[in-house]
Structure 1
Amino acid sequence: MTPDVRLVKDLVAEVPAFEDLYATHVFNQGGVLPHVFFWDVTQETVRSYVGPEADAGARADALADAPDWRRTLRFLEEQCARGVPGIDEVVVTSFLEYLPFPGKPGHEIVRELGPVMAATFAKVRPAG
């Protein structure tokens, strides 16, 4: 199993709230496509971070089942600290680069990144 696919499976094991998203992804894609899956992970993580007040149309129970953004960031920080090329590529290209830009809802999540991801984020998106 490649490091990027292992990353997806380990994330789902660490943050079980991603299980339904993972199952849907595998069904729709016919397998695991880490970069595609992580676009959804980014969206769900930011949605969890901004909370129900930012998404007035969302059902309260759906937001309650959202993946814990703190747990997700902690897991990704630990994985990035390992310095495994396939993992770093997915996290940088399909997570960090898709975080909201300044002025957009949820941009403040970048202040919550751990030191490894924060340093990488500053390199790939120096303007935030």
Structure 2
Amino acid sequence: MAAIPNTTPSVQLVSDLITRIPEFRGVYETHVFRQGDVLPHVFFWDVVQDTVRSFLGEAPGAADWRRTLAFLEEQSARGVFDIDEVIVTSFLGDLPSPHEPGHAIIHQLGPVMAAKFVRIRPLG
């Protein structure tokens, strides 16, 4: 997917994600069909779910969770407010809690996202 002209950084984040990790294209198309537009915070709920399923080995056709975390780490390190807001609020904030399956994925976060995760969820 090519860059969308005159778009917000958060919408560009979605575009860049599906360009880099095409396994999210189906999720994206369903999202746009249901929402009528790209709503990054809503879209990232599905990204979290697919990433955790991949981490748990429950979704063989899903994007490899390592690629998703690497992409988000790279984007998070850029320090762009709109991008950070989506990653922190709608990815890191929605990762499984300590009592939920898949919580161990937090130990796989890169240093930038791990630091942000600890700030928003100091108890995990």
TM-score, with length taken from structure 1:
0.91
Summarize deviations over 1:44-97 as a string: whole Å, max 9, x none.
100100113xxxxxxxxxx22111100000000000000000000000000000
Partner of 2:100: 104
Partner of 1:126: 122
Partner of 2:20: 14
Higher relative contact order (CA 8 A, sep 6+): 1
Question: Is the aligned partner of 1:40 residue 2:36?
Answer: no
Give the structure with the larger helix fraction: 1
Name the CA distance, whole Å, in 2 between partners of 1:91 and 1:12.
15
Post-superposition offset of 1:103: 2.2
- Mapping for residues 28-107 of structure 1, pairs under 5 Å: 28-52=34-58, 63-107=59-103
Aligned-pair identity (%): 64
Unaligned runs of 5+ in 1: 53-62
Name the CA distance, whole Å, in 1 between partners of 2:64 and 2:81.
25
4+ runs deviating over 6 angstroms: none
Structural RMSD (CA): 0.6
Q: Number of matched residues?
A: 118
Which of 70, 87, 109 in structure 2 is aligned with 1:113? 109
Name the CA distance, whole Å, in 2 between partners of 1:106 and 1:10.
25
TM-score, with length taken from structure 2:
0.93
Name the CA distance, whole Å, in 1 between partners of 2:69 and 2:9.
18
